[in-house]
Amino acid sequence: MDSIQHLITIALKEDMGSGDITTDNLVDSDLEGKGVIIAKEPFVIAGLDVACQVFKHLNADVIFIPDYIDGNLVKEGETIATVEGKLRALLSGERTALNFLQRLSGIATCVRSYVEELKNKRVRLVDTRKTTPGWRVLEKYAVRVGGAYNHRMGLYDGVLIKDNHHAVCGGIKKAVDRIRTQVHHLVKIEVEVSTPGQVKDALNAGADVIMLDNMSREQIKEAAAFIGGRAIVEVSGNVTKNVLKSLADTGVDIISVGALTHSARCVDMSMRIQAAD
């Protein structure tokens, strides 16, 4: 939560600088009002608590009343939330709060569309580290809201030996053997491979997870059959929505998709503010 509060502080500072020159000169500090956040298209909502915290950062007495919870589908024209309190806080926090909501809801909506493609499939859909710098915790949260799962959060919480790693270590087996002496027994070791020969090397080296990167559909199917449950099989690289079902039928366990975060568009919403009677 501390990292999110820090991000909110940075976002407000970026937008307001030394102060809201328009609002501070037009609106008396004691005036109160209400803001209504409206959906301008259908989407999966995510980030309501973050939006609430934006307004409370400006004025702790602001009341934020959501009409939905994260993960709900919102229809066009519906009220997402109502914000009540000092008008200065509402006016100054509007854009920052909406920016968080629009971005996180956009990711959740994108993810939900991918999840729907995999309905009734046993494969697990996961994200990647292709996130907006500084936003990873929030964007990976939005992925979960959308119905998918997270891959590792960063370089610190999971071993993934990529092609560049085994290239500089002298091969897959040397890399796996070396890392296994450095991490404790509860840490799984994943190895990225791109050829059938590397699949065999990773399996013989005792990899717990084998990532098939940018391999053909036939190669993926053959690799999954060869591995035969002796390691978790992940597929990655140029995965688009239209190939999800066919990939799921190859026998892999996990499909990782960078587009869940890096290509999700922001959804559209607005906030209407009025002074109290």
Active site residues: 95, 130, 162, 192, 213
Q: Which helix (H) or strand (E) holds 247?
A: helix 244-248
Half-sphere exposure of 163 (CA within 13 A, CB side): 9
Cα radius of gyration (the chain): 23
Whose structure tokens read 């909506």?
A: 109
CB 144 within 8 A of CB 115: no
Mapped onto helix, strand or coil, the DSSP state of residue 264 is coil
169 class by beta-carbon count within 10 Å (0-12 exposed, 13-18 middle, 19+ buried):
middle
Mapped onto helix, strand or coil, the DSSP state of residue 105 is helix
Tokens of 61: 């007495």
Residue 215, CA distances (Å) to 11, 159, 166, 231 in order? 40, 21, 18, 17
Mapped onto helix, strand or coil, the DSSP state of residue 170 is coil
Nearest partner of 65 among 92, 47, 83, judged by Cα: 83
